[in-house]
Amino acid sequence: MRVTTAFNRVLSLPGTSVSSVSFTESGLVLGVRRRARRHRCPCGWSTASRYDVSRRRWRHLDFGATRVWLEAEVARLDCRRCGRVRTEEVPWARPGARATRDFEDVIAWLAQRMDKTSVSRLLRCAWETVDRAVKRVVADHLDDTRLDRLYRIGVDEISYRRGHRYLTVVADHDTGRVVWVAKNRDQEAFGGFFDALGQARSTALTAITADAGGIYLPVARARATNATICLDPFHVIKWANEALDAFYRSTPALPTDDDVAQWKTGQRGRPNWQRLRTALRTGGERLTERQRALITVVQRHSRRLWRAWQLKEELRELYHSTEPAQARAHLKAWITAALRSRIAPMQTLARRLRAHFDAVIAAVELGLSNSRLEGINTKIRVIQRRGYGHNNPDALTAMIYLCLGGIDIPLPTRT
């Protein structure tokens, strides 16, 4: 068997033949050529003529401890469709790459599981090579079909750098995959998602979950006319806790002591203040025995603060124990009770919930929340920590798509 025939079987590159084998100081150099006679532009246009020819190398997977390079003549084409001179497409590498598809696929598979610096050391290539390979693999696998069959989506933002630098993230509730990432946290960023989605697919959306900020909700209502807007329950309970905190700060100092059984009148110390604040914010079903004793003291010494805590718990029942069919009646009764409580922060919260009444109820009836988005944000934080930060938002966006966008990398070793 000839050496070139053996390497043809080892490489198994489609549409490619090995024409020469040579050992150099940089490693093993395999001369290859395309079998097709016509040259093909990356845009799909093909021709038999060439603008000019040059010889290039592409990094391939190592053979043991030896670096491997593929070398071939590659033509430039005067593409009539693109209207400019472009390098032809070769079957063993992606357009613009100086590494083979197999090498870049291994890089991307490893980048899903480890940091780029470790990948570069393992594969003996530059960190920039890893970064560019990840972006090319993501661009190759990320197509418009990921936006098909979207019915229930969630949108949220995540900060990627100090100084209020944000990314807008859109995820599919049914699959848990990230389907859209855009720079900034504004209406234009979310509007770009609907521009890519198109009118027909936007009409097919049935539910959108978001927080109550003035950024995403107006865009969702204007662009997805058939979708039900759901207000994230986490933010509603957060509002309730903030209202309870605000009222607690305005109340007179309560009797405090490390021993709950012996309460003395005096100035409220910070450790005890923090302990009582924690008890007030904790859900009623998760209170410890000591925290229940603190709540009992609040009930005895500050009836209005205890009523504010009671209102917070009644609002939590909307999501934990209220049947969806009774959600509207429950929330209406809560708003009425809060407005009559004479507790200013709770009255403000009641007016706020009345303004978002339908969105709050929709979240209960459909059983949707932004918890999936919060989980995705946690995974993005892990990606950032694993990579020790990213030099620009485009690099982080590519990693988000690679790790959380449902991209399956076919390894060349997979049979």
Cβ(271)–Cβ(322) below 8 Å: no
> Quick one: DSSP state of residue 71?
E
What distances in angstroms separate CA 87 from CA 41, 53, 77, 102, 140, one per listed residue?
A: 7, 9, 6, 20, 18
CA–CA gap between residue 109 and residue 112 (Å, rounded): 5
- Tell me the DSSP string of 191-234: HHHHHHHHHHHHHH--EEEE-S-TTHHHHHHHH-TTSEEEE-HH
The per-residue pLDDT for 221 is: 92
Instruction: Indicate yes or no: pTM above 0.75.
Output: yes
The CATH class of 101-230+369-415 is: alpha beta
- Average of per-residue pLDDT across 373-384: 93
Digit-coded pLDDT (tens) for 209-256: 998 888 999 999 999 999 999 999 999 999 999 999 999 988 876 654
Question: What dihedral do alpha carbons 88, 92, 93, 94 form, nearest 10°?
Answer: 70
Cα separations in angstroms, 382 against 13, 99, 169, 385, 386: 36, 28, 16, 5, 6
Q: Give the model confidence (pLDDT) of 385-406 as tens digits.
A: 998 878 789 999 999 999 999 9
| Locus of tokens 């609002």 | 315
Query: pLDDT digit string (tens) for 114-140?
Result: 999 999 999 999 999 999 999 999 999
Per-residue pLDDT, averaged over 24-29, amounts to 91
Amino acid identity, residue 226? N
* The predicted structure's pLDDT at residue 255: 55
CA dist 236 and 333 (Å) reads 16
Element (H, E) at 290: helix 289-301
The tokens describing 39, both together, are 């040259």
- Nearest Cα residue to 197 out of 146, 147, 149: 147
- The total of other beta-carbon atoms located within 10 Å of residue 10's CB is 11
List beta partners, residue 86: 77
Mean pLDDT of 65-92: 91
Instruction: Return the higher-pLDDT residue of 249 and 317.
Output: 317
Asked if the model's pLDDT at residue 275 lies above 90, the reply is no
Q: Which helix (H) or strand (E) holds 150?
A: none
CB 131 within 8 A of CB 187: no
Q: Which helix (H) or strand (E) holds 284?
A: none
Q: Convert the pLDDT of each residue in 282-297 to its tens digit.
A: 998 899 998 898 888 8
**Whole-angstrom Cα Rg for the chain:** 30
> Distance between CA atoms of 150 and 175, rounded to whole angstroms?
10
Band (pLDDT 50/70/90 cuts) for residue 264 is: very low
pLDDT higher than threshold 70 for residue 360 = yes
Given this model, what pLDDT does residue 3 score?
83
The pLDDT tens digits for 151-182 are 999 999 999 888 778 999 999 999 999 999 99
Distance CA 415, CA 411 (A): 9
What is the identity of the amino acid at 405? G
Q: Give which of 263, 231, 265, 258 is closest to 349, Cα–Cα.
A: 231
* Whole-number pLDDT of residue 253: 66
What residues does each domain of the chain span? Answer: 1-98, 101-230+369-415, 233-365
